[in-house]
Amino acid sequence: MYKKLTLMIIIVFCMAVVQTAAAAGNHTALLGVNDHVSDIQPELIEGSYYMPVRDLAAVLSVQVAGTPDDIALTDANYTSITLKPPAGIMIKTDGSAIEIKLPVQSGKTLVPVALIAREFGYLVTYQAESRLLRLINAPGVQTDDIFVQQNQDAVVKNKEKNDRLDQEIEAERKIKAEEARKEKLKKEQEQKGQKGRKGQEQKDKPAKQPVYLSFDDGPTAHTDQLLDILNKYEAKATFFMLGNHIDTYSTSVKRLVQEGHQPALHGMTHIKSKFYLSPAAALQEMDADNEHLYRAAKVKSKLIRPPYGSKPYLVQSYRDKLISHGYHLWDWNVDSEDWKYKSNSKAVYNRVMNQVHALHKKGIKPIILFHDQAETLKVLPSVLAELKREGYSFELITPEMTPVNFWHDVR
């Protein structure tokens, strides 16, 4: 009897914990360390899995020292990293520093599991289907499939919890979408009333003609500022993003999708020798990029732009491979060269305007290449203001459009 009662209490307690976690609104992964399941489940925060620093240190067999504002982690091989939560900085063994998000919840500092584990020499794998995050530093461990089989109960439990959360999120999204639709309708009706006056003012301006803004290599720490500028000029743009950056700046990715910009793919590594290793490697990078995009913003993209543009490396066999998987290849026809003239806004401005005007004369729609970088923010307002003044409207690249690329591959 006593035993039964204890068991009941435990079950009720567990249910309460599970519900609280779901209500808190974060997805969780099942954490496997070599061949063992951890009883701590990392939470998904802005595209990365997090857990309390002390729990992760225990899992990785790493010593913790310092203060909550200055945490030192050291392993037996003297690999040592320092975390500074107030500044959001991680300093590695070699002294280099990177920006990371280190949230504090209920007095515990949370740290990104994969990033930290890699620093201490762990191989990190993630199986999205079973939400299994594995940290491996021992030889001869189980394959993911066997690991999942052996820990079926834990996998299913975690999956059910996450499925419930997905349902809640989906329900909430539907409500919000409906609210947004009504709000938009209301605004349109209000604007209709003002159209009469505006029509007169715009009579002497040329008719709207499309121009397509595209930004490569993001998201970055500057994406939010970039979005603010685009908003100011009521401009929409297409972002060819790198999968690894998406994890770090997933909030900006969510925002750009919500604000009606077009998310698109630029691969994972941006390293020539890796991306163009084979058609399969190129496809794998785009698919992986798409997974990261989906995790961050719950959308996928069919639009791709390979690193450095598609010529000369993206030859027929590569294009066949990518296009047979539904992707559309996009290069550009206006190169701002903003990466080259970083300190020379005037040069970038002139290049863009001259090329846009030249294409316009030939009746070709301009596809402008910019980069998501600090320097571009300086020149962008003047470019947008002038294009707008000249009657251009900023449109999105879409999968339905005939692709513009250096190979004239219109598939």
Q: Which residues bind Zn ion (CB under 5 A)?
A: 216-217, 307
CB 233 to Zn ion: min, Å: 24
In terms of CB distance, is 131 or 270 closer to Zn ion?
Answer: 270
Could you give the CA distance from residue 159 to residue 164 in angstroms, rounded to a whole number? Answer: 9
CA distances from residue 130 to 2, 5, 20, 46, 190 in whole angstroms, order as listed: 37, 33, 22, 19, 49
In terms of CB distance, is 216 or 289 closer to Zn ion?
Answer: 216
In sequence order, which residues have a C-beta less than 8 Å from that of residue 3 and are 6 or more positions away?
A: none
In terms of CB distance, is 217 or 395 closer to Zn ion?
Answer: 217
CB 271 to Zn ion: min, Å: 11
CB 372 to Zn ion: min, Å: 9
Helix axes 2-24, 152-201, angle to 10 degrees: 20
In terms of CB distance, is 217 or 247 closer to Zn ion?
Answer: 217
CB 371 to Zn ion: min, Å: 7
Q: Torsion over CA of 287, 289, 293 and 294, rounded to 10 degrees? A: 30
* Torsion 374-367-268-44 (CA) sign: positive
CB 217 to Zn ion: min, Å: 4
In terms of CB distance, is 217 or 331 closer to Zn ion?
Answer: 217
CB 27 to Zn ion: min, Å: 30
In terms of CB distance, is 90 or 322 closer to Zn ion?
Answer: 322
The pair of three-digit structure tokens given for residue 216, joined into one six-digit string: 């490569």
Cβ atoms of 336 and 352 closer than 8 Å: yes
In terms of CB distance, is 216 or 409 closer to Zn ion?
Answer: 216
Cβ atoms of 348 and 336 closer than 8 Å: yes
H or E stretch covering 238: strand 237-241
CB 307 to Zn ion: min, Å: 5
Neighbouring-strand partners of residue 254? none
The residue nearest Zn ion at its CB is: 216
